[in-house]
Amino acid sequence: MSRWKALPGELDPRVRQLVVRLRRLKDHSGLSLRQLAAKTGYSASSWERYLGGRSLPPREAVEAMARIGGADPTRLLALHEVAAEAWGEGRADTSAPEGSDAPEASEATGTASAAGAAHTVEVVGALQAAGADDTGPYNLAAPNEETRHGRSLRVALVAGAVALVLAVSSAVLLAVRLTDGDSRASATPLGSATSSVSPSPSPSGPRTYACEVERIDGRWYAGNSRTRDAVLAEGLAGPEVAEAQCLLRRAGFAPGVVDGIFGPHTKSAVEQLQKRAGLVVDGIIGRHTWGALRR
């Protein structure tokens, strides 16, 4: 198993998700960087930049990696679309010269950004599965005069659908948080049969979550989320993070206060769990790390 260097801390979570997926496919293939270069047509130094989070791989390189790793290229290309959008936003913010590999997107830390990125992946994946052409900002194939108007219409439709999904998801997330806050403010029985409960938050202090750990169908759950494949990284927040913190505590690791915020203590606990479970130690919770937490 490869020992990967830690990704840049300021890397956008949407780009980080793509890079982590590419790293796992590379490990699964068992190829060295030189062998990978020979099979894809991209140099070993280019793959070193792509897999290190210092440069965004082109669409063709991502598709080639999917074929080599035996993965579904549609989903991987959808991740690339979202990562390309985040990378483009970072380039605009830093006013870097066009074509440079150096800029890195800043990491989104809000819950709404995480939810919006996940919904963007689903929308783009659905459009690609339906046969839509690539209309992302890194598509280098210039349309001819006959197809320019049709492509512009598709771009407008994709942008409108993504904006609508982001608006709806933000509204739903806000409503869920308000409802959840009201329900948790009510009295809770002290003699619960489940494990310990974190103290209730003060009116002006940070929020804390309950850890109601129980085993269902051979898996551990803490009552905050039932997800088994949500991708969580440092800087994100929400009930999924709280669920992971509770399960890290159950496994004997110290993520800090169960506040639903993925901070340095939570990342350190995740890395310790990954090391013990024999997984890639990257401090990011994905499907395999969830499996280790739920077991």
Query: Is the pLDDT reported for residue 94 higher than 80?
Result: no
Residues 248-294 have pLDDT tens digits of: 999 999 999 999 999 999 999 999 999 999 999 999 999 999 999 99
Specify burial of residue 248 (Cβ count, 10 A radius: 0-12, 13-18, 19+). buried
Query: Is the pLDDT reported for residue 77 higher than 60?
Result: yes
Residue 57: name the closest of 70, 66, 67, 47 by CA: 47
Query: Is the pLDDT reported for residue 104 higher than 80?
Result: no
SS3 of residue 263 by DSSP? coil
C-alpha 289/C-alpha 283 separation (Å) is 9
C-alpha 2/C-alpha 154 separation (Å) is 40
Q: Convert 76-131 into a string of H (helix), E (strand) and C (coil).
A: HHHHHHHHHHHHHHHHHHHCCCCCCCCCCCCCCCCHHHHHHHHHHHHHHHHHHHCC
Percentage of the chain beyond pLDDT 70 is 68
Mean pLDDT score across all residues of the chain:
76
Q: What is the pLDDT of residue 139?
A: 36
Query: Is the pLDDT reported for residue 229 higher than 80?
Result: yes
Residues 156-208 have pLDDT tens digits of: 788 888 888 888 888 887 776 766 655 554 434 433 334 443 444 444 556 78
Query: Is the pLDDT reported for residue 146 higher than 60?
Result: no
Query: Is the pLDDT reported for residue 91 higher than 80?
Result: no
Residues 127-143 have pLDDT tens digits of: 344 343 333 333 333 33
Distance of CA 153 to the CA centre of its chain: 29
pTM here is 0.34
Mean pLDDT of all residues in 208-237: 93
Q: What is the pLDDT of residue 179?
A: 65
Q: What is the pLDDT of residue 180?
A: 60
Specify burial of residue 131 (Cβ count, 10 A radius: 0-12, 13-18, 19+). exposed
| Cβ neighbours around 34 below 10 Å, total | 11
C-alpha 200/C-alpha 209 separation (Å) is 8
